[in-house]
Amino acid sequence: MFVTKKHLTRRTVLRGAGAALALPLLDAMIPARTALADTAAKATPHLGFIYFPHGAVQDKWTPNGVGKIESFNDILKPLDAYKSMTTVFSNIENQAPVGPVHALSPGTWLNCVHPAISQDPHAGTTVDQIAAEHIGQDTPLPSLEVATENHGGGGFCDRDYGCSYAGTISFRSPTTPLPMETDPRKLFMRLFGQGDNAADRTRLSHQYASLLDMVGNEAKDLQRVVGRSDQAMLSDYLESVREIERRIQKMEARDLSKVNIPDAPKEGTEPFNQRIELMFDLVALAYQANMTRIFTFMVAAEVSGQTYTFIGVPDAFHPLSHHNNEAGKMERLAKVQAYHTQVFAKFLDKLAKMPDGDGTMLEHSLFLYGSNMANSNAHNHYPLPTSMVGGWKTVKGGQHIVPPEHTPLANVLLTMLDRVGIPQDKLGDSTGKLLEV
């Protein structure tokens, strides 16, 4: 039960000159003397699908112990704090990307449907979009699709299947791939946009330095009428928005005129480690502001040429993935893969501290974290590195599940939908749900 000075609707926004800023869930949005379970503030699942290319070094991925996870190895070690919320699956396979592996792996990860031979896309609706139909329709963005790079290298496209499957992991329908946003500023504008169209947003972005400057008066008025806990939450939220604005502006303000920038990556000049963290932070804000409940994220492009000098790995990602079983290369590759997990874990840290109704955002979320390739040197799809992370109440967590050999990845996806209350009898080549989850 909550008693507040003022009742706000869940869709309350702060408005200013050409701008609107959505708000997090405040106590003031829960009607006085109303049980939380009887309001729109009751727990609603949030889903995320985080994809990394080029598989995983298997012995660095697989946890110790079957059943209860005893300990994580190098790649999943950053998830130690969330061991009780993590389920790791072995013996998982996906036959959908067999063929031109890089050209098909991303776009078949979440539907498990082998595409028809055609330059035009034709595969299957992905699980994120199935979820969006059920739990994403009452948010401004039914789903959010983000990535860090626009395009990989050779093998990204294929003469039989075209380029539709390598650049996205989300398909709204079998013939409609969804583009992944790679530009932090464009993503920010999409979430907290200024103006009704591209021309308005361009004009306003030059006219005003900050979204928060535009809604400042309304923010101050709201702070005066809500309770103390809401004041603290609102202050933290606005500070997060301000910090992300500052980071974006700092990236744009750098003088690169005297720097010899190579052709790749073309989508931005900010360091990769800054970009990936910023994109995760923007997704967290989108959750907090109830802009979306579902996102997909490609942490690197398929056939990525990205280097990781910031963690002491100068090799380009894709060439390094062809390690020829050389110990040194495999060690560096595992270090890159552990870095991706580390950034994901920082995202979980934010959600664990983010209030959401009667719990935290992490407790109300469930994420698929994995790849559609197994051994990058062999370009195979068994066993796929696959894990489910989050505190959603119907998932046990803390388990290393070893189902029968060659269990379809589609069974994991079907189980994930089932656990968040989305009915689905069949997905791709699924043969049933995993009851152990």
- Amino acid 308 reads Y
Per-residue pLDDT of the chain (437 residues; tens, 9 = 90+): 233 445 566 656 666 655 566 677 777 776 554 554 444 456 789 999 999 999 999 999 999 989 999 999 999 999 999 999 999 999 999 999 999 999 999 999 999 999 999 999 999 999 999 999 999 988 888 899 999 998 877 778 999 999 999 999 999 999 999 999 998 888 887 776 654 455 554 555 554 456 667 666 777 778 777 777 777 777 777 776 776 776 666 555 544 343 333 333 334 457 899 999 999 999 998 898 888 999 999 999 999 999 999 999 999 999 999 999 999 999 999 999 999 999 999 999 999 999 998 899 999 999 999 999 999 999 999 999 999 999 999 999 999 999 999 999 999 999 999 999 998 999 999 999 999 99
Q: Provide, for the chain, the percentages of residues in helix, strand and coil under a 3-state DSSP scheme, each rounded to the nearest 5.
A: 35, 15, 50
In the block, residue with structure tokens 């697989």: 62
| Rg of the chain taking only CA atoms, in angstroms | 22
- How many residues make up the chain in this entry? 437
By DSSP bridging, strand 171-173 and strand 13-16 are unpaired
In this prediction, residue 105 carries a pLDDT of: 96
In this prediction, residue 266 carries a pLDDT of: 37
At residue 82, the 3 state secondary structure works out as: helix
* Residue ranges per structural domain of the chain: 1-42+201-266, 43-183+272-419
- Contact assessment for residue 333 and residue 321, using Cβ atoms and an 8 Å cutoff: yes
CA distances from 423 to 118, 127, 139, 292, 426 (A): 31, 12, 20, 20, 9
- Contact assessment for residue 319 and residue 58, using Cβ atoms and an 8 Å cutoff: no
Q: Which of 118, 89, 111 is nearest to 296 (CA)?
A: 111
Return d(Cα 271, Cα 92) in angstroms, integer: 34
- What is the model's pTM? 0.80
In this prediction, residue 187 carries a pLDDT of: 87
At residue 96, the 3 state secondary structure works out as: coil
Half-sphere exposure of 358 (CA within 13 A, CB side): 15
CATH level 3 topology of 43-183+272-419: Alkaline Phosphatase, subunit A (3.40.720)
In this prediction, residue 10 carries a pLDDT of: 60
- Contact assessment for residue 59 and residue 330, using Cβ atoms and an 8 Å cutoff: no
Structure tokens at 249: 């502006």
In this prediction, residue 308 carries a pLDDT of: 97
